[in-house]
Amino acid sequence: METYTLMQALGRRCKDCDLVLAKAVDKYQQTVTADVGRIYSFKSVFRDRKLAANTKRISFVGGGRAFGETPNYVGEVGFLFLYRSPLGDSTFQDAWHGHIPIERYHDGRWCRLYHVKLWELTEVPPYLLEHSRPDMLLLKSDGHPAHTLVRLDALERYFMNLIADIDQMPCEPVDVADFGAWIELV
């Protein structure tokens, strides 16, 4: 059985899912309602760019707490990988960390990659490594970091380049809200 690397997993998500920057505003069990800030790709949930620009809020089935999955929290802002079920009209967050939360630290905005030690991987683009660091706030029981923080602008650039490579055309995100003011809330 072949094991996916982190970069392959992110590539598959960018190929099959819509990438959205959103803020979770409500949650009931696994159903999450989020305000949409920016839409990066239009493959599944958002197929029409013009209609997507009017999508201020979306509901989807988020991840649970099983098998190491990290659930969405109300108030959390982050990247979401979303897809529409082929069997119905339901929207789902991609499994196994289909969301990447954004957090503010004293030196800027950082994205948390859960259960990933980016510094130990060989396939990571150099600019991502240059703009990442171990997350020293959430340590494993042995005192070592288990997660990685990546600067928001570097991860966004990586995703936009990956989407452009997959789609064979420039990635042109649609801002649903005033993105500059919106991201300041993080």
| Collapsed DSSP state (helix, strand, coil) of residue 161 | helix
Prediction pTM value: 0.90
Residue holding tokens 């969301």?
A: 99
| Collapsed DSSP state (helix, strand, coil) of residue 98 | coil
Amino acid at position 162, single letter: L
Amino acid at position 157, single letter: R
pLDDT in tens, 80-115: 999 998 887 899 999 877 889 999 998 999 999 887
What is the CB neighbour count within 10 angstroms for residue 44? 18
Q: Write the DSSP assignment of 52-88 as a string of letters.
A: HTT--EEEEE---SGGGPPPP-TT-EEEEEEEE-TTS
DSSP class of residue 115 equals T
pLDDT in tens, 104-158: 998 999 999 887 888 888 888 899 999 999 888 877 788 888 789 999 999 999 9
| Collapsed DSSP state (helix, strand, coil) of residue 123 | coil
